[in-house]
C-alpha cells in the first residue's frame, strides 16, 4: 500500500496551491475516464476538453503526486534515440514522424503553459548535454548534425564553452538544445489540472481505482466509494502502475531517481554555476542531472535507492557528485532531498498501447517524461476520440511483459554495477 500523502520536496514546498479535487463519492457515468493524474493523465484530460469531451480523472493521491510532481523539471525534447536511429529502427516515414513529434514536445509544454497562463516558473533557456568522456564526442557531433539537418536550434559546445555554461571543467564538451527549458513541475501539474477542470474535466483526487471490467460495451471502474462507467478509458499510471490491468505493471521497470537541493546560492556562486539558466544532464550511463530553480538553489539528481522518502545517508553519493562537479560550493547546506519512480522500458522508448477496445495506455518515458508525457497525453486524447492510429505519430505497440520481472531489483543492481564500471572505463 502506497503512502498517498505528498512527500516533502522542494517542489511541494514552493508550488502554487493545489485546487481541491474531491474524492469520488457515488456513481458516475462519463464518455472517457482517465486513471492517473500526472502529466500524461492531465494532458490527456486537457486535450480532451479541447476536443469537446468532459472527461473524469481518477487519481489515487492528488494531481502531480507521482513522478510528475517530483522530477527535475527539465523539459527536454526528443527521445533517447536520435532521429536517424529512429528512422533506422522504424523506417524513414514512421521514424521521421516520431522524431518530429518528439522534437516538438518541449514546445508543446511551453505552448500549453502560455495558452493556459500556468504559473510554473517556465523558462525556455535550453538544455545542455555535457559529454563525460572524449570518446562520446563523436556521438554528440552526430546528434547535433542530425538535429541541425532538421532545422532544430541546437549547437555543439567545445570544452571551454561547456565549462563556461555549466560552471565546471570536468566535461570534454557537449551540445545545447535551445528548444528545452525548465518548469516547477508540481506547479505545472497543478496548472494542467486547473486548466482541464476549468474547461470541463472532473478530477477526483484520493480515488484509487481498484477494479476495471467490461460491462456490455462500456468500461466499469471500481473505486472505494463508487464506480464510474465510461465508453473509453485511458491508463496514465506509468511508474506507479499497479495490478489494475493484468500485466501492464510488468511492461516497465520502476527505477528510483532522487534529487537534492541546496540553499539559494549567493550571487557569486550563481554567476559561476549555470549562469545562463540552462538545465543539464550528462552522458554517463548512470547520469547526473542538474539545474537551478527560481530562487537560485542548485538541484542535482541521479539514481536513488528504492524509497519514496530517502534519508540523508541516501543523499551522500549525490552530495559527493555535487562537490566533484562544483567544488566552489564548499560545505553548502542542503534544504531538500526527495525521490520518485522513473518507468523504464527495455527498448528505451515510450509505449502507447491499445489494451482492449477503447482502453489505451501511455507509459515508459525513461526519465524524459515532462515533455513526452505531455505529448503522449495528447496522443491518448486523440486515440480515444476516434483519430485513426495511423495519424498518431507514435506507433501503437503490443504490451510485452518483461521476463523475470519479479527479479527486477537484483537485475537492476547488477546493471547499475555494470554501468558504473563502463562509465569509469570511459574516462580512462
Q: What is the nearest approach in angstroms of ligand FAD to the Cβ of residue 309?
A: 12
Stretch that binds ligand FAD, among 32-40, 161-169, 194-202, 417-425 (CB under 6 A): 32-40
Q: CA angle at residue 296 from 292 to 302, to 5 degrees?
A: 30
Write the interaction track for ligand FAD spanning residues 78-117; mark x where CB under 6 A is met and - where it is not. Answer: ----------------------------------------
Tell me the CA end-to-end span of the chain in Å, nearest whole number. Answer: 45
Which CB atom, from 91 or from 211, has the smaller least distance to ligand FAD? Answer: 211
Copy the grid coordinates of residue 115: 495558452
The answer to whether the CB of 358 falls within 8 A of the CB of 235 is: no
Q: Does the protein bind ligand FAD through residue 12 (CB under 6 A)?
A: no
Report helix, strand or coil for 332.
coil
Distance CA 170, CA 276 (A): 18
Residue whose grid cell is 533506422: 88
Distance CA 203, CA 207 (A): 10
Distance CA 272, CA 353 (A): 45
Q: What is the nearest approach in angstroms of ligand FAD to the Cβ of residue 65?
A: 4
Strand 56-58 relative to strand 202-204, pairing: parallel
Q: What is the nearest approach in angstroms of ligand FAD to the Cβ of residue 138?
A: 25
The answer to whether the CB of 38 falls within 8 A of the CB of 373 is: yes
Distance CA 12, CA 319 (A): 21
Q: Does the protein bind ligand FAD through residue 370 (CB under 6 A)?
A: yes
Q: Does the protein bind ligand FAD through residue 227 (CB under 6 A)?
A: no
Distance CA 248, CA 212 (A): 13
Q: Does the protein bind ligand FAD through residue 68 (CB under 6 A)?
A: yes
Stretch that binds ligand FAD, among 23-31, 164-172, 239-247, 292-300 (CB under 6 A): 239-247
Q: How many residues lie near ligand FAD (CB under 6 A)?
A: 46
Between residue 332 and residue 361, which ones bind ligand FAD under the rule CB under 6 A? Answer: 339-342
The answer to whether the CB of 180 falls within 8 A of the CB of 279 is: yes
Please identify which residue in 11, 53, 59, 318 interacts with ligand FAD, judged by CB under 6 A.
Answer: 59
Between residue 160 and residue 219, which ones bind ligand FAD under the rule CB under 6 A? Answer: 208-209
Q: Which residue is nearest to ligand FAD (CB)?
A: 369
Q: Does the protein bind ligand FAD through residue 368 (CB under 6 A)?
A: yes
Interaction site with ligand FAD (CB under 6 A) = 35-41, 58-61, 65-68, 70-74, 76, 208-209, 236-240, 242, 244, 257, 259, 289, 301, 339-342, 363, 365, 367-371, 373
Amino acid at each position: 500500500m502506497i503512502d498517498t500523502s505528498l512527500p516533502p520536496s522542494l517542489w511541494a514546498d514552493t508550488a502554487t496551491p493545489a485546487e481541491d479535487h474531491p474524492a469520488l463519492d457515488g456513481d458516475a457515468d462519463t464518455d472517457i475516464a482517465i486513471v492517473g493524474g500526472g502529466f500524461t493523465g492531465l494532458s490527456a484530460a486537457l486535450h480532451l476538453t479541447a476536443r469537446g469531451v468532459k472527461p473524469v480523472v481518477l487519481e489515487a493521491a492528488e494531481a502531480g503526486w507521482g513522478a510528475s510532481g517530483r522530477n527535475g523539471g527539465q523539459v527536454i525534447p526528443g527521445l533517447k534515440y536520435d532521429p536517424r536511429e529512429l528512422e533506422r529502427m522504424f523506417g524513414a516515414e514512421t521514424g521521421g514522424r516520431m522524431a518530429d513529434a518528439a522534437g516538438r514536445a518541449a514546445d508543446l509544454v511551453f505552448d500549453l503553459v502560455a495558452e493556459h497562463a500556468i504559473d510554473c516558473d517556465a523558462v525556455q533557456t535550453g538544455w545542455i548535454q555535457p559529454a563525460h568522456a572524449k570518446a562520446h564526442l563523436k556521438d554528440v557531433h552526430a546528434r547535433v548534425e542530425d538535429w541541425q539537418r532538421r532545422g532544430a536550434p541546437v549547437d555543439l559546445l567545445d570544452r571551454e564553452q561547456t565549462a563556461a555554461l555549466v560552471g565546471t571543467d570536468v566535461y570534454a564538451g557537449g551540445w545545447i538544445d535551445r528548444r528545452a527549458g525548465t518548469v516547477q513541475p508540481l506547479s505545472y501539474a497543478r496548472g494542467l489540472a486547473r486548466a482541464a477542470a476549468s474547461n470541463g474535466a472532473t478530477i477526483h483526487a484520493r480515488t484509487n481505482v481498484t477494479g476495471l471490467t467490461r460491462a456490455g460495451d462500456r468500461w466499469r471502474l471500481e473505486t472505494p466509494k463508487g464506480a464510474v462507467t465510461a465508453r473509453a478509458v485511458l491508463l496514465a499510471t506509468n511508474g506507479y502502475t499497479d495490478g489494475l490491468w493484468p500485466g501492464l505493471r510488468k511492461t516497465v521497470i520502476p527505477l528510483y531517481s532522487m534529487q537534492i537541493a541546496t540553499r539559494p546560492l549567493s550571487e557569486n556562486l550563481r554567476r559561476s554555476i549555470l549562469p545562463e539558466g540552462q538545465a543539464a544532464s550528462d552522458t554517463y550511463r548512470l547520469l547526473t542531472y542538474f539545474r537551478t530553480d527560481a530562487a537560485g538553489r542548485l538541484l542535482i539528481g541521479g539514481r536513488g535507492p528504492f524509497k519514496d522518502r530517502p534519508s540523508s545517508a541516501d543523499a551522500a553519493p549525490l552530495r559527493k557528485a555535487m562537490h566533484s562537479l562544483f567544488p566552489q560550493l564548499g560545505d553548502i547546506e542542503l534544504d531538500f532531498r526527495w525521490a520518485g519512480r522513473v518507468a523504464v522500458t527495455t527498448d528505451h522508448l515510450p509505449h502507447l498501447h491499445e489494451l482492449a477496445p477503447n482502453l489505451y495506455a501511455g507509459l515508459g518515458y525513461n526519465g524524459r517524461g515532462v515533455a513526452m508525457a505531455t505529448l503522449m497525453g495528447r496522443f491518448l486524447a486523440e486515440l480515444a476520440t476516434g483519430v485513426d492510429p495511423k495519424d498518431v505519430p507514435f506507433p501503437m505497440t503490443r504490451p510485452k511483459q518483461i521476463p523475470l520481472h519479479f527479479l527486477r531489483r537484483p537485475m537492476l543492481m547488477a546493471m547499475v554495477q555494470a554501468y558504473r564500471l563502463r562509465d569509469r572505463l570511459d574516462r580512462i
